[in-house]
């Protein structure tokens, strides 16, 4: 209760979100975790530095940078031209082209907001000029822009894959693939809506193969990027992280040398603009990890699962409840923070009810997509109101029909898991159709925070920094003992403190350091060449 009051007070004062999250984490550890000293509170820094062991996290800045570089060029215009040439001839073609351009651009930028700004900025005047009604245009563009969440490489998906672990862990490559089906489904529904609601605007142009070819050639380097990224990832040429670095180099080469819409002089400004946004986002995510860790240590997921069982919801009812919860959460919270904060509670409960973690991940992301459009904290609505220069209230009303479509899409994605997981398992040769609950329900698994950490044996007590350091030390000692006995060393996940072990209890840092020093001296005395390695 005090924690909630503190959070509300800080929010009401207008403190930055990262301060609110950081203070909430620290306070939770202090009051509920029993971590009362400064040394104990270092757990927050430990969780921040944990990203140095999460390779997938590297993809976030790289995709942000490549998206920024591509957006600063004239890729959006090329994609719009191509989409117009491809589908502009049909009834409501220009509106369908806008949806298609949003999907293609989302596959380049990985961000809903960037997609809305880039495509919306071009298509809003074009659509209204062609006779489409303003509310329809605004609603369609704001909703299609939010597809950036679902189309790979999606930043929320990357964050989701980092936030879950243990039995609920998902491979980011599989999550990307799982997002494609729902993305196409929702894009298809929006296109259908565009065709049906086109009204008097029948078609904007005749189909011309010559124009299609011309716009395809002009946009080929932009259209090739999603192919390069996804083809590279699924062709096992590179990992998602490596794909992100390749996409940065590709974006620089294409925009500066081929499209020539950016000069090398302009590049630093473009990148630096995104660094500031990245920094603001990263601090929130990193501090959220400490709350994520706290909730795992406190076994909040177990309580949530017990509650679900008491309510007797079953998998279907649980998913419905989750959807309601996440939509409401999305209305009041930033999507990325919501992912980091709530996945450790929801994912284990869902897994133990037999729901596929990949399916849950996609449902989670679709909910966050709705969150981008649901007031009062609706990022895409704010952006739409700004770039289209229309009142927020008008934009909110305009988006209601397409928000309804998105909700229908959410229900379909939730209750037909094949839409998301089918392609993934089909590629693995496990069949396309997937039942709603696939896995055997297991008794209350508790997820691990971060990479491989597991909770302490006694819930209610969080591992202290000393305990973590001790665990790491023990591992090193075991490895040294193995090495001394002539066995091959076993690779440890990281040399840093990792809360994966459950040591009995707790030396002070000084005692630990002393013990380590003594051990090294003994080793040095026993053998002239030290055998221990980190």
Classify the phi-psi angles of 489: left when phi > 0, otherwise alpha if psi is within -120 to 50, otherwise beta: beta
Q: How far is the CB of 495 from another protein (least distance, A)?
A: 5
Of 400 and 513, nearer to another protein (C-beta) is 513
Q: How many CB atoms lie within 10 A of CB 398?
A: 26
Nearest residue to 443 (alpha-carbon basis) of 299, 302, 296, 316: 302
Cα dihedral 115, 415, 412, 104, rounded to 10, equals: 30
Pick the closer one to another protein by CB: 280 or 411: 280
Nearest to another protein of 183, 270 (CB atom): 270
Q: How far is the CB of 503 from another protein (least distance, A)?
A: 16
369 exposure class (CB count in 10 Å sphere: 0-12, 13-18, 19+)? buried
Closest distance between another protein and the C-beta of residue 517, in Å? 5
Q: Which of 177, 163, 523 is nearest to 342 (CA)?
A: 163
Shortest Å, Cβ 79 to another protein: 15
Q: At CA 104, angle to CA 424 and CA 252, rounded to 5?
A: 105
Whether 98 contacts 127, CB under 8 Å: yes
CB of 114 to another protein, least distance (A): 15
Closest CB 491 distance from another protein, rounded Å: 8
Q: Toward another protein, which CB reaches closer, 19 or 300?
A: 19
Smallest gap, in angstroms, from Cβ of residue 377 to another protein? 7
Query: In this complex, which beta carbon is closest to another protein, that of residue 19 or of residue 405?
Result: 19
Nearer to another protein, 14 or 435 (CB): 14
Rounded to the nearest angstrom, the gap between the alpha carbon of residue 362 and the centroid of all alpha carbons in its chain is 10
Q: Is the dihedral of CA 8, 12, 17, 23 positive or negative?
A: negative
Nearer to another protein, 30 or 184 (CB): 30
- The DSSP call for residue 51 is G
Helix 93-109 to helix 112-129 angle (10° resolution) is 160
Judged by beta carbon, residue 204 or residue 462, the one nearer another protein is 462
Q: What's the token pair of residue 352?
A: 């133990």
Within 8 A by CB and 6+ apart from 338, the residues are 326, 329, 330, 368, 371
Closest contact distance (angstroms) between CB of 314 and another protein is 36
Nearer to another protein, 113 or 319 (CB): 113
Kindly state the tokens that stand for 518. Answer: 């003594």
- To another protein, the closest distance from the beta carbon of 1 in angstroms equals 20
For the bound state, the minimum distance from the C-beta of residue 509 to another protein, rounded and expressed in Å, comes to 6
Reading the block at residue 157, the tokens are 């998906």
Query: Beta-strand (E) ranges in 221-366?
Result: none
CB-based contact 278:155 (threshold 8 Å): no
CB atoms within 10 A of CB 8: 11
Tokens 């939010």 map to which residue? 146
Please say which residue, 108 or 194, places its beta carbon nearer to another protein.
108
DSSP-assigned letter for residue 257: I
Tell me whether residue 139 or residue 450 sits nearer to another protein (CB atom). 450
**Nearer to another protein among residue 55 and residue 203 (C-beta):** 55
In the complex, what is the shortest distance from the CB of residue 305 to another protein, in angstroms, rounded to a whole number?
Answer: 31
**Is 380 or 434 the residue whose CB approaches another protein more closely?**
380
C-beta of 240: minimal distance to another protein in Å?
12
Smallest gap, in angstroms, from Cβ of residue 41 to another protein?
Answer: 6
Sign, Cα dihedral of 421, 427, 433, 436: negative
Separation between Cα atoms, residue 183 and residue 420, nearest integer Å: 9
Q: Do residues 452 and 500 make contact, with C-beta atoms less than 8 angstroms apart?
A: yes
Angle at 500 (CA atoms; ends 496, 503), nearest 5 degrees: 100
Distance from chain centroid for Cα 112: 12
Contacts of 191 (CB under 8 A, 6+ apart): 92, 95, 96, 99, 100
For residue 70, which of 324, 305, 307, 244 has the smallest C-alpha distance?
A: 244
């Amino acid at each position: 209760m005090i924690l909630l009051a503190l959070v509300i007070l800080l929010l009401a004062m207008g403190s930055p979100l990262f301060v609110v999250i950081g203070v909430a984490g620290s306070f939770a550890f202090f009051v509920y975790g029993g971590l009362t000293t400064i040394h104990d509170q270092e757990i927050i820094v430990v969780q921040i530095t944990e990203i140095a062991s999460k390779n997938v996290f590297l993809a976030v800045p790289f995709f942000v940078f490549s998206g920024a570089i591509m957006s600063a060029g004239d890729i959006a215009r090329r994609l719009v031209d191509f989409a117009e040439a491809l589908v502009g001839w049909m009834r409501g073609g220009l509106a369908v082209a806008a949806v298609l351009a949003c999907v293609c651009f989302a596959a380049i930028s990985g961000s809903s907001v960037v997609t809305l700004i880039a495509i919306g900025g071009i298509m809003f005047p074009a659509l209204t000029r062609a006779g489409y009604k303003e509310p329809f245009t605004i609603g369609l563009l704001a909703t299609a822009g939010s597809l950036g969440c679902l189309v790979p490489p999606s930043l929320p998906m990357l964050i989701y894959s980092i936030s879950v672990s243990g039995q609920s862990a998902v491979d980011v490559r599989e999550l990307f693939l799982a997002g494609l089906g729902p993305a196409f489904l929702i894009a298809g529904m929006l296109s259908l809506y565009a065709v049906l609601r086109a009204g008097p605007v029948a078609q904007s142009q005749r189909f011309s193969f010559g124009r299609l070819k011309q716009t395809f050639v002009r946009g080929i380097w932009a259209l090739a990027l999603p192919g390069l990224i996804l083809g590279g990832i699924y062709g096992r040429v590179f990992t998602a992280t490596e794909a992100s670095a390749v996409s940065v180099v590709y974006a620089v080469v294409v925009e500066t040398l081929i499209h020539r819409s950016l000069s090398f002089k302009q590049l630093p400004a473009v990148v630096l603009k995104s660094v500031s946004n990245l920094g603001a986002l990263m601090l929130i995510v990193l501090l959220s990890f400490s709350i994520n860790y706290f909730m795992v240590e406190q076994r909040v997921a177990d309580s949530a699962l017990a509650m679900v069982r008491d309510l007797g919801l079953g998998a279907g009812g649980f998913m419905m409840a989750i959807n309601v919860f996440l939509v409401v959460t999305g209305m009041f919270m930033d999507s990325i923070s919501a992912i980091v904060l709530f996945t450790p509670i929801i994912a284990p409960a869902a897994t133990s009810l037999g729901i596929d973690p990949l399916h849950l991940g996609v449902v989670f992301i679709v909910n966050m997509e709705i969150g981008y459009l649901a007031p009062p904290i609706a990022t895409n609505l704010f952006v739409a109101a700004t770039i289209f220069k229309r009142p927020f209230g008008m934009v909110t009303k305009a988006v209601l029909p397409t928000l309804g479509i998105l909700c229908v899409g959410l229900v379909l994605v939730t209750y037909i898991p094949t839409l998301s997981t089918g392609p993934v398992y089909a590629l693995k040769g496990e069949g396309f159709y997937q039942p709603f609950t696939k896995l055997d329900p297991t008794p209350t698994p508790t997820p691990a925070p971060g990479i491989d950490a597991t909770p302490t044996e006694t819930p209610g007590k969080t591992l202290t920094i000393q305990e973590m350091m001790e665990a790491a030390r023990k591992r090193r000692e075991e490895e040294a003992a193995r090495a001394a006995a002539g066995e091959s060393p076993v690779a440890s996940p990281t040399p840093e403190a990792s809360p994966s072990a459950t040591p009995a209890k707790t030396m002070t840092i000084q005692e630990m350091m002393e013990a380590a020093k003594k051990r090294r001296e003994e080793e040095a005395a026993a053998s002239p060449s030290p055998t221990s390695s980190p």
